[in-house]
Chains A and B, each alone.
Chain A
């Protein structure tokens, strides 16, 4: 029925989808193209599809590998930047945050899903209610607390607020723990296993998939976070990539910004997440419906 009309519709629809995908991917390509260009030559060839005078200069510059003279010759500001250091800092913050947050949230989720105790569902509802509070509201007192503890510009200060739990992580894991067959647990109990053994030997291995998914999502969020590290981690020794990008952008000379350097830096910040995404694309895309709606 209406075969030709349908086909025409499908062609138009495919064309639209392809246009959307090109629009989505183009900025990534442009970042790549600019990062490999010579900054002094960029203004002369603003719409060249290939890198202009392709060079690794921008990467050397932002990784602190080129001398001031070299950097300035290629249009850099000459200010010392060391994205190796910021990369290391981001790795430390995201890794510690993810490991601690997922583990402690899993413990809590176990208590909410598999244990029976009075007031359990009320306490759980309270944990969930915290999702409603906008971060800036708690950020102000949290900043005062971290400052009073003398933890400004320390990894502890950046990591602590997210290290113990998020309401979302507990909620997410509880949903999976609820679905685990109780008979297995009871069989283990009859064999004399305690709650610690059931948690580590049964629940965690059986939930490897959702725990991995949660860990990936947590890692990405932590890696991309800007607001909190901006407040408590300005100093260079603990500065993470997102904060460093902001600083780099404000340092760049107003007259002739170091676009190549800036794009090389953004690429360094984005690449680990893109790699993680390519490796786990199916898992991440499939988790979206669940995490957003339910």
Chain B
């Protein structure tokens, strides 16, 4: 990220403050009312019992104590992690693959557009199309499996398959978008590096492992941070297909928070879980950036 600062000019110390306040007024209003205030309010609510009907009642650490002993919460965290691992693992590998293919084969905007297409339709649309294609009885995927002699799979009904299924659906939706991010990164690698490798007689595979991947690292780390944060917030797909089931197999953390807040009106507890999720996401981004030294490229 480049933050450019314009050179200081000799003026009154307040500069254009008055004009700036006018230009910033609407955005600041929205920012304070819908970002700052709810962030502070949410943190406060996490220490209360609040059903929306009466004023929140301060209960100290009760919600957090409850969370530690709530097996549904731990289940939700576990299911979410399983989802993220499958989703991000597969998606990242596929995205790098697609990006490499595009980079080596074609500059065609059509290819890039096709690859991006699933990302532009709603999660809900994608979820429903796959819900239909993966139907146990008449879905085309189970038909195709039967041609090669595989018994039909209850993709959404079997508790072992439900999370991998949801994860794969979202791999399908996001892999092209992620590939374009990686593709943008590939284009920043100077061509002389490849030319040098070719002169040294490096093979395609060797070049990929020894040169492309290490030079791509800063981009990959940023992509991982962005996609992983998004992945933890899986909700739409679950909400329109399995709704947390079968049993608790797909009750991901976002969905569990949603249920607590909007079907049980347990806003205090839901806020506490949302705060924990916030902390987890912040920690993960920090760790990834630290561990993988995102800012430094091996070119430097």
Task: For the complex, give the distance between the alpha carbons of A290 and B180 in Å.
Answer: 10
Give the residues in chain B near A285, CB-CB below 8 Å.
Answer: 109, 112-113, 116, 180
* Interface pair A107/B125, CB less than 8 Å apart: no
Give the residues in chain B near A284, CB-CB below 8 Å.
Answer: 113, 116, 120
Give the residues in chain A near B278, CB-CB below 8 Å.
Answer: 133-134, 137
Which of chain A's residues has its CB closest to B100's CB?
A13
Give the residues in chain B near A293, CB-CB below 8 Å.
Answer: 181, 184-185, 219, 222-223
Binary contact readout A205-245 vs B (1 if CB under 8 angstroms, 0 otherwise): 00000000000000010011111001100000000011001
Task: For the complex, give the distance between the alpha carbons of A14 and B15 in Å.
Answer: 58
CB of B123 to closest CB in A, whole Å:
6
Task: For the complex, give the distance between the alpha carbons of A259 and B262 in Å.
Answer: 29
Task: For the complex, give the distance between the alpha carbons of A139 and B38 in Å.
Answer: 8
* Interface pair A289/B184, CB less than 8 Å apart: yes
Stretch among B28-36, B65-73, B207-215 lining the A interface: B28-36
Q: Which residues from 21 to 67 on chain B have a C-beta closer than 8 Å to any C-beta of chain A?
A: 23-24, 26-31, 33-39, 41-42, 45, 50, 52
Stretch among A28-36, A53-61, A63-71, A76-84 lining the B interface: A28-36
Interface centre among A165, A175, A231, A242 (most CB of B within 10 A): A165
* Interface pair B138/A242, CB less than 8 Å apart: no
Asked if A187 is an interface residue, CB under 8 A from chain B, the answer is no
Q: Which residues from 16 to 67 on chain A have a C-beta closer than 8 Å to any C-beta of chain B?
A: 16-17, 20-21, 23-25, 27-28, 30-31, 34, 42-43, 46-47
Q: Which residues from 253 to 291 on chain B have a C-beta closer than 8 Å to any C-beta of chain A?
A: 254, 257-258, 261-262, 267, 270-271, 274-275, 277-278, 281-282, 285
CB of A82 to closest CB in B, whole Å:
18
Which of chain A's residues has its CB closest to B50's CB?
A144
Number of interface residues of A (CB under 8 A): 96
Binary contact readout B124-147 vs A (1 if CB under 8 angstroms, 0 otherwise): 111011111101011110011000
Q: Which residues from 142 to 182 on chain B have a C-beta closer than 8 Å to any C-beta of chain A?
A: 143-144, 172, 176-177, 180-181
Asked if A192 is an interface residue, CB under 8 A from chain B, the answer is no
* Interface pair A288/B38, CB less than 8 Å apart: no
Asked if B77 is an interface residue, CB under 8 A from chain A, the answer is no
Given the known inter-chain contacts A108-B27, A274-B117, please indicate yes or no for A117 contacting B133, CB distance below 8 A: no
Asked if A93 is an interface residue, CB under 8 A from chain B, the answer is no
Which of chain A's residues has its CB closest to B1's CB?
A294
Give the residues in chain B near A154, CB-CB below 8 Å.
Answer: none
CB of A256 to closest CB in B, whole Å:
10
Contact of B118 among A24, A108, A141 (CB under 8 A): A24
CB of A220 to closest CB in B, whole Å:
6
Contact of A30 among B133, B137, B254 (CB under 8 A): B133
* Interface pair B240/A220, CB less than 8 Å apart: no
Stretch among B84-92, B189-197, B229-237 lining the A interface: B229-237
Give the residues in chain B near A9, CB-CB below 8 Å.
Answer: 204
Contact of B229 among A120, A134, A145, A230 (CB under 8 A): A134
CB of B176 to closest CB in A, whole Å:
7
Given the known inter-chain contacts A121-B5, A226-B123, please indicate yes or no for A289 contacting B267, CB distance below 8 A: no
CB of B23 to closest CB in A, whole Å:
4
Give the residues in chain A near B16, CB-CB below 8 Å.
Answer: 115-117, 195
Task: For the complex, give the distance between the alpha carbons of A142 and B30 in Å.
Answer: 12
- Between-chain CB contacts (< 8 Å), 24 pairs: A17-B102, A17-B106, A27-B133, A30-B129, A30-B140, A43-B138, A46-B140, A47-B144, A104-B26, A104-B30, A118-B15, A130-B31, A132-B281, A138-B39, A164-B26, A170-B27, A226-B124, A242-B123, A257-B135, A263-B129, A269-B121, A282-B109, A289-B184, A292-B223
- Which A residues fall within an 8 A CB radius of B? 9-10, 13-14, 16-17, 20-21, 23-25, 27-28, 30-31, 34, 42-43, 46-47, 104-105, 107-108, 110-111, 115-118, 120-121, 123-124, 127, 130, 132-145, 147, 160-161, 163-165, 167, 170, 175, 178, 182, 195, 199, 220, 223-227, 230-231, 241-242, 245-246, 249, 257, 259, 262-263, 266, 269-270, 273-274, 277, 281-282, 284-285, 288-290, 292-294
